[in-house]
Chains A and B, each alone.
Chain A
Amino acid sequence: MITSAEKTRSSKSDVVRAVPREVLHDPAILPPITDSVIDVDSLSLWYGEKRALEDVSIRIPRKKVTAFIGPSGCGKSTLLRCLNRMNDLVDHVSIDGDVRFDGMSIFDPDTDVYELRKRIGMVFQKSNPFPKSIYENVAYGPRIHGTKGKRDLDEIVERSLRSAALWDEVKDRLADSALGLSGGQQQRLCIARAIAVQPEVILLDEPCSALDPIATAKIEELMDDLTQDFTLVIVTHNMQQASRVSDYTAFLYLGKLIEYGETERLFVKPMKKETEDYVTGRFG
Chain B
Amino acid sequence: MKKRSQSDLLGRSLTWLSGGALALDLLLVIALLAVLAVNGLGAFWQHKLVRLTLRDGTRVLGEIHAEETIPEQSATRMLVKVGNRELTALDFRWIDEANIATREWPEDATLLERLEWGNFYGALVEIRRGGSVLASGPDEVWSALGPLRDQKRREAKAVHELEVGPIDRVNRELERLRLDARKVARQGLAKEEEARRVTEIEHDVAAKQAVYETLTAELASRRATLVSETVIAETVDGKRKEIPVSQIVRAIQPNRMGTAATMGLYASRLWEFVSADPRESNTEGGIFPAIFGTVLMVFLMAFAVAPLGVLAALYLREYAKQGVLVQFVRIAVSNLAGVPSIVFGVFGLGFFVYGIGGSIDALFYRDALPAPTYGTGGILWASLTLALLTVPVVIVATEEGLAAVPRIQREGSLALGATRFETIRRVVLPGAAPGILTGMILAMARAAGEVAPLMIVGMVKLAPSLPIDGEFPFVHLERKFMHLGFHIYDLGFQSPNVEATKPLVFATALLLVGVVVLMNLVAIIVRNRLRQRYTSSAV
B224 contacts chain A at the CB level, 8 A cutoff? no
Asked whether, in the complex, the Cβ of B539 is within 8 Å of the Cβ of A180, the reply is: yes
B271 contacts chain A at the CB level, 8 A cutoff? no
Asked whether, in the complex, the Cβ of B539 is within 8 Å of the Cβ of A144, the reply is: no
A175 CB → nearest B CB, Å = 8
Q: Complex Cα distance A131/B430, Å?
A: 9
A5 contacts chain B at the CB level, 8 A cutoff? yes
A214 contacts chain B at the CB level, 8 A cutoff? no
Q: Complex Cα distance A240/B403, Å?
A: 38
Partner of B417, one of A5, A141, A190: A141
Q: Complex Cα distance A4/B320, Å?
A: 9
Interface of chain B, helix or strand or loop or mixed? helix
A-side contacts of B426, CB under 8 Å: 130, 140, 144
A151 CB → nearest B CB, Å = 21
Residue of B nearest to A115 (CB): B417
B-side contacts of A89, CB under 8 Å: 411, 414
Asked whether, in the complex, the Cβ of A4 is within 8 Å of the Cβ of B321, the reply is: yes
Q: Complex Cα distance A84/B412, Å?
A: 12
Pair count A-B, CB < 8 A: 100
Q: Assuming the A-B contacts A126-B408, A128-B408, are A193 and B416 also in contact, with contact meaning beta carbons closer than 8 angstroms in the complex?
A: yes
Query: Within residues 132 to 146 of chain B, which ones have a CB less than 8 A from any CB in chain A?
Result: none
Q: Complex Cα distance A1/B419, Å?
A: 14
Q: Assuming the A-B contacts A114-B419, A130-B412, are A1 and B318 also in contact, with contact meaning beta carbons closer than 8 angstroms in the complex?
A: yes
B-side contacts of A180, CB under 8 Å: 536-539
Asked whether, in the complex, the Cβ of A173 is within 8 Å of the Cβ of B539, the reply is: yes
Tally of chain A residues near chain B (CB < 8 A): 37
Q: Assuming the A-B contacts A1-B407, A180-B539, are A132 and B415 also in contact, with contact meaning beta carbons closer than 8 angstroms in the complex?
A: no
Query: Within residues 396 to 432 of chain B, which ones have a CB less than 8 A from any CB in chain A?
Result: 403, 406-420, 422-424, 426-427, 430-431
Contact mask B81-106 → A, CB, 8 Å, 1/0?
00000000000000000000000000
A124 contacts chain B at the CB level, 8 A cutoff? yes
Residue of A nearest to B530 (CB): A131
Additional pairs, 8, CB under 8 Å, beyond known A1-B322, A131-B535, A180-B536:
A1-B407, A114-B418, A116-B417, A124-B415, A126-B408, A176-B539, A180-B537, A190-B412
A-B contact pairs, 18 of them (CB 8 A): A1-B322, A2-B414, A114-B418, A116-B417, A118-B416, A118-B417, A131-B409, A131-B431, A132-B430, A140-B418, A144-B416, A144-B418, A145-B417, A179-B535, A179-B536, A180-B538, A194-B415, A197-B416
Q: List B residues at the A interface (Cβ < 8 Å).
A: 317-318, 321-322, 403, 406-420, 422-424, 426-427, 430-431, 533-539
